[in-house]
């Protein structure tokens, strides 16, 4: 669901206001991807796509337990809520939507960290079903403007 998450953030922002809070909340969990790519020295776009598609083959886990978890969502949302409660709730909802869309991806996730409960979805990354879902979301996003 690589592109579906920011698209979902745009849709939520267009429909409910607080656009930037929804949008940033929907993409911020993937900040861990940057650190994983840098630590593994993966810089070329084709290598990034291969690594994302075949995490188990390359023994990479892009969705770290610290950021791709409910605890991570609460920790990152709390300071925003203290500054702007409504914006913080929008950020948190965008974050939850990101995690929900990640749920169906085939790779391993630890949404309940610090518990060691592992979640795995059924949908390969960049699969035809994912692309169709993303195109539908994109059309909904266009309609939301």
Q: Where are the domains of the chain?
A: 4-144
**What mean pLDDT comes out for the span 71-80?**
97
60 to 31, 32, 35, 36: CA distances (angstroms): 15, 12, 12, 8
More confident: 96 or 34: 96
Q: What average pLDDT does the structure give for the chain?
A: 92
**What mean pLDDT comes out for the span 44-68?**
84
**What mean pLDDT comes out for the span 90-102?**
96
For residue 84, what pLDDT is reported? 97
Q: pLDDT-based confidence at 56, cuts 50/70/90?
A: confident
Query: Are 40 and 60 spatial neighbours (Cβ–Cβ below 8 Å)?
Result: yes
**What mean pLDDT comes out for the span 88-106?**
95
**Taking Cα atoms as reference points, which of 97, 118, 117, 98 lies closest to residue 107?**
118
Q: Whole-angstrom Cα distance, residue 58 to residue 73?
A: 27
pTM for the predicted model, two decimal places: 0.88
Q: Whole-angstrom Cα distance, residue 13 to residue 18?
A: 6
pLDDT tens-digit readout, 119-144:
988 988 888 999 999 999 999 999 99
């Amino acid at each position: 669901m690589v592109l579906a998450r920011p698209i979902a953030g745009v849709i939520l922002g267009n429909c409910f206001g607080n656009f930037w809070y929804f949008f940033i909340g929907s993409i911020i969990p993937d900040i861990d991807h940057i650190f994983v790519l840098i630590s593994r020295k993966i810089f070329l776009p084709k290598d990034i796509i291969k690594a994302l598609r075949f995490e188990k083959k390359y023994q990479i886990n892009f969705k770290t337990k610290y950021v791709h978890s409910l605890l991570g969502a609460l920790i990152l949302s709390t300071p925003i809520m203290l500054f702007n409660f409504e914006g913080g709730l929008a950020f948190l909802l965008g974050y939850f939507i990101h995690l929900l869309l990640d749920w169906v991806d085939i790779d391993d996730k630890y949404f309940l960290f610090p518990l060691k409960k592992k979640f795995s979805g059924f949908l390969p990354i960049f699969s035809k079903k994912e692309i169709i879902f993303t195109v539908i979301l994109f059309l909904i996003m266009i309609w939301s403007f």
